[in-house]
Amino acid sequence: MDMRLILLGPPGAGKGTQAKLLAEKFNIQQISTGDILRQAVKNKTKMGLKAKSYMDQGKLVPDNVVIGIIKDRLDNADCSKGFILDGFPRTIQQAESLSQALKQMEIDIDHLIDIEIGFDYLIRRLTGRWTCRECGEGYHKMSNPPKKKGVCDKCDGELYQRDDDKEETIQKRFEVYRKETEPLKDYYQKNGKLNAIKGDGGIQEIFSRITNLIT
């Protein structure tokens, strides 16, 4: 089945996890802008070299360069059966540029899925994450706690909480999301393809909601 999807939702909603599961189920490509940006730089493509020039100066890569890298990726034969855009677009401006690029390439998006999740639930989900300093094993105090508090089951290493998983950091990320990314809902609502699903519950539960929606 050909399938072209865009996943939206706040940080921590599980977009990356769901994109991976959907890519496997439908045999389509998961396209994370961070991954393809790094790959383009590594491969020294024309757009990759442009991106590197900004990155070397510590600057954000401009939208037009990111869009160029996305277009290059979508031109690959392995995207002919479909793809999932994970983590892009994040702003109205990016969405407009992406729509223009897809129109030029004669590509239609089949489904735009918004994973809705409340801030309080998000806080509980994200602040419960702990990581082993030694082996990198991940734990969650609610869904996957270690046998001994603060100690890794695998290597007895110390568990710590990453800065990204601290409440003040999550609060800032969520504020940026509300200001810059949440308006995308209204933007995409106009084309009639935006559907929202509840983002609470387990990974497979959320996955089932998405697949029921798009099949």
Q: Which of 162, 166, 179, 198 is catalytic?
A: 162
Q: Which of 25, 71, 90, 141 is catalytic?
A: 90
Is residue 119 very low, low, confident or very high in pLDDT (cuts 50, 70, 90)?
Answer: confident
Q: Which of 141, 173, 185, 193 is catalytic?
A: 173
Query: Is 173 assigned a catalytic role?
Result: yes
Q: What is the pLDDT of residue 29?
A: 96
**Arithmetic mean of pLDDT, 175-186:** 92
pLDDT for residue 134 is more than 90:
yes
DSSP state of 1: -
Contacts of 82 (CB under 8 A, 6+ apart): 1, 2, 3, 4, 5, 26, 28, 29, 110
Q: Which of 4, 15, 52, 125 is catalytic?
A: 15
Is residue 87 very low, low, confident or very high in pLDDT (cuts 50, 70, 90)?
Answer: confident
Is residue 103 very low, low, confident or very high in pLDDT (cuts 50, 70, 90)?
Answer: very high
pLDDT tens digit string along 17-31?
899 999 999 999 999
pLDDT for residue 73 is more than 90:
yes
**Arithmetic mean of pLDDT, 139-148:** 90
Query: Is 129 assigned a catalytic role?
Result: yes
Q: Which helix (H) or strand (E) holds 49?
A: helix 46-56
| Pairing label, strands 3-8, 111-116 | parallel
Is residue 163 very low, low, confident or very high in pLDDT (cuts 50, 70, 90)?
Answer: confident
pLDDT for residue 42 is more than 80:
yes
Q: What is the pLDDT of residue 63?
A: 93
pLDDT for residue 188 is more than 80:
yes
Query: Is 179 assigned a catalytic role?
Result: no
Dihedral of CA 24/97/215/125: which sign?
A: positive
Q: Which of 50, 52, 125, 129 is catalytic?
A: 129
